[in-house]
Structure 1
Amino acid sequence: MKIVATEGCHLIGKNGERWIDGMASWWSACHGYNHPHVREAVTAQLQRMPHVMFGGITHDPAERLASRLAEVAPDDLNHVFFSDSGSVAVEVAMKMAIGHWRRHDRPGRTRFLAFENAYHGDTTGAMSLCDPQRSMHARYSGAITQQFHVPLPRDETTETNLDRVLAEHSDSIAGVFVEPLVQGAGGMRFHDVNTLTRIRDACRRHDLLLIADEIATGFQRTGKMFAVDHTADLPSPVVPDILCLGKALTAGTMSMAVTIARSHVFDSFYSDDPGAALMHGPTFMANPL
């Protein structure tokens, strides 16, 4: 199906056909297509400065966006790292977690736990987090790093199983990845806030980082700014150590993503020693458009 234009919630074909895009371009066009406010802002920035590298220099659009993200993200999730796609945001989170534990003399923590039916992206590291049997990447099983995958802890039995795996492999696991409330590409599978709290509690018991992949659920897709915000009224809200965002971040206009870290993770890289820095610099990170 060839598309020649977009408008509002519609895809427009070469003969004028109009289709409603219920998927919003894989959940990214959160305000519809060609929204005048978004279009005018992009046009104005294009005329001013379409791109400049984000290494050793900065610019107002990136600073404004980082500041606004820090304002709306839970608790002290206020250290923003820009990248150019959701998959890369996940890769950055993996590097953050591994680097964090190396800073704390736990160099063996290089692997991750994710959940059955998980989907976290299409680059090699992100692929390893996807369900190795049920995802679109199953054909690459054995060719990429083998991570740990267990059922979501929806009840006491599955929670016990999660605890067992974490206890057995806590010396090698750096963090736990979860798509809060909704596993999107894995089949639109839903779970409740109690499942999230069980995951968070397990991470606390085993001193592991909790990494929330909200690339699909972020920016009001579940009715709140972020899916983890549905736990805000609980006695102990779930606040991930690292938060990955993308898709609707740019209202579907272009590829951009962020990985946001809490202060204790950020502090693992904050040093006068250049070797302690998080070495990751995509060419188009923090694109001002």
Structure 2
Amino acid sequence: MSQSDTLFDYKHIWHPYSSMINPHPCYTVISAKGVYLKLKNGKNIIDGMSSWWSAIHGYNHPVLNKALKKQIRKMSHVMFGGITHPAAIALCRQLISLTPKKLDCVFLSDSGSVSIEVAIKMLIQYWQSLGQTRKTFLTIRNGYHGDTFAAISVSDPNNSFHKIYHNILLKNLFADAPVSSFHDNWNNSDIISFTKIIEKNSYKIAGVILEPIVQGVGGMRFYHPTYLKKIKILCEYYSIPLIFDEIATGFGRTGKIFAFEHADVIPDILCLGKSITGGTITLAATLTSRYIANTISQSETNCFMHGPTYMGNPLACAVANANIKILKTNIWKKQVYNIEKQLSTSLLPLIDHPYVIDVRVLGAIGVVECSRSVNMLLIQKFFVEHGVWIRPFKKLIYIIPPYIISTQALNKLTNVIIDALNHDFLFL
């Protein structure tokens, strides 16, 4: 990659959550293998982010590559309207076999945010089919569900990512987030706010939506499984469908194949994405019950009104199938267990550091919450210079490494985090 390419990128390409005026520099990756990203200068750095939760088996995995190559020889894409194909059928079989029996209808889409849009539209249409107009959703604060408009509307309205849009979004209901953490004792007062809101507004609530157990970029909090149990009881009492957003946590990240399994509850709608293809190509899925699907299908339109162009993309479905087959070998369980154990040993002692206010570990997720916000420009440079790719935000330094990471590579990630905490200039 030439210097002119780098300059073109800087001047013309708008990267996620960035400004076009004096944007932060981007680091050019020319290839990736295993847990390593190779930069244009030839340096290899360890990816601690799994490409935003997705590359759970690392990069250039031979099984995933083989699935892509085999499928592309047949066809890379075909419209899903009025057409089906073996890769999509096989994937939906796998998803149904992997999820609770109740979730037996699958709607495929092309990104996690869209899978949330699909879930929300499903429930709006579901209630219309029952002769009711309901468009209000109930969720909890500190949540994040994506960057498209319906997804933003159920994300925390005070989240700096999206608060500029909230005056034009559907007005939804937000209960206080639970305080009881995953590893602490349950405090029943956590459910009071949610209970009061659902009691008062049950007649107009179309659905409840939550990130189960782990709240992602809304704060990287891990809450108590009992909270989900209480939510499920309330939803059943008021006959309000429950949506779980497992886009980030699905496929093993928390130590269970799905995070909701920690609470032993089952949603009415389940949204999946990110690691569904092992981080190779974009795909998402929204699963629901036969009852909800049939109710929607008996509506005035006689169908569900959504149809992404790349829905059921054969390449994505083929590699997702290969990814799920890898997961079904259950090697990931030991991998994630070992990561959790090592992260606990390395990171939990940081609670005594003067710049640290909390440390959280669950499955293959490690979070260091600092007392001061990071200087994004400087800390990103520091991490790259020290051979790791970690993308902090606000006061959070967190890692979500590929499951295949070695003990040595994980040690390097955590050691560089520890080193960063001892450099005052990296914080605002």
Q: Same fold (TM over 0.5)?
A: yes
Shift of 1:135: 4.3
Q: CA deviation at 1:274?
A: 7.4
**What residue number does 2:260 align with?**
228
Change (3 A) 1:274 1:31: farther
Residue 56 of structure 1 pairs with residue 78 of structure 2: no
- Paired amino acid for 1:198: K
Aligned residues: 282
- Deviations along 1:37-62, whole A, 9 cap, x unmatched? 10111011111110000001100000
Q: Give the conservation status (yes or no) of the 8 Å contact 2:142–2:177.
A: no
Residue 138 of structure 1, CA deviation: 1.4
Q: Structure 1 length as normaliser, TM-score? A: 0.94
| Structure-2 residue corresponding to 1:7 | 33
CA distance in 2, matches of 1:135, 1:76: 36
Matched residues in 1 for 2:246 and 2:97: separation? 17
2:225 is matched by which residue type in structure 1? V
CA contact (8 A) 2:31 2:39 kept: yes
Which structure 2 residues correspond to residues 36-47 of structure 1 after superposition, within 5 A? Answer: 36-47=62-73
Which residue number in structure 1 is paired with residue 124 of structure 2? Answer: 98
Q: Deviations over 1:79-131 (max 9, x none)?
A: 10000100000000001111111112222x11101111100000011011110
Identity across the alignment (%): 45
The equivalent of 2:371 in structure 1 is none
Measured in 1, the distance between the counterparts of 2:248 and 2:74 equals 30
Task: Tell me the equivalent position of 2:155.
Answer: 130
3-state SS of 1:53 partner? coil
2:198 is equivalent to residue 173 of structure 1? no
- Give TM-score, length-normalised by structure 2: 0.64
Q: In the alignment, does 2:167 pair up with 1:139?
A: no
Structure 1 residues 168-177 or 120-129, which shifts more? 168-177
Q: Tell me, yes or no, if structure 1 residue 152 matches structure 2 residue 174.
A: no
* Equivalent position amino acid for 1:144 in 2: L
Larger Rg: 2
Asked if residue 119 in structure 1 is aligned to residue 144 in structure 2, the reply is yes
Distance 1:13 1:246, change over 3 A: same
Q: Equivalent residue for 1:240? A: 267
Secondary structure, counterpart of 1:34 in structure 2: coil
Distance 2:314 2:168 in 1: 37
Question: CA contact under 8 A between 1:76 and 1:263: conserved in structure 2?
Answer: yes
Cα distance, 1:241–1:135 mapped onto 2, change above 3 Å:
farther
Given that 1:212 and 1:240 are in contact with CA atoms closer than 8 Å, whether structure 2 keeps it comes out as yes
- Name 2:225's counterpart in structure 1: 193
More relative contact order in 1 or in 2 (CA 8 Å, sep 6+)?
1
Structure 1 consecutive aligned stretches of length 4 or more whose deviation exceeds 2 Å: 152-158
Question: 144-153 vs 213-222, which deviates more?
Answer: 144-153
CA–CA separation in structure 2 for the residues paired with 1:137 and 1:270:
33
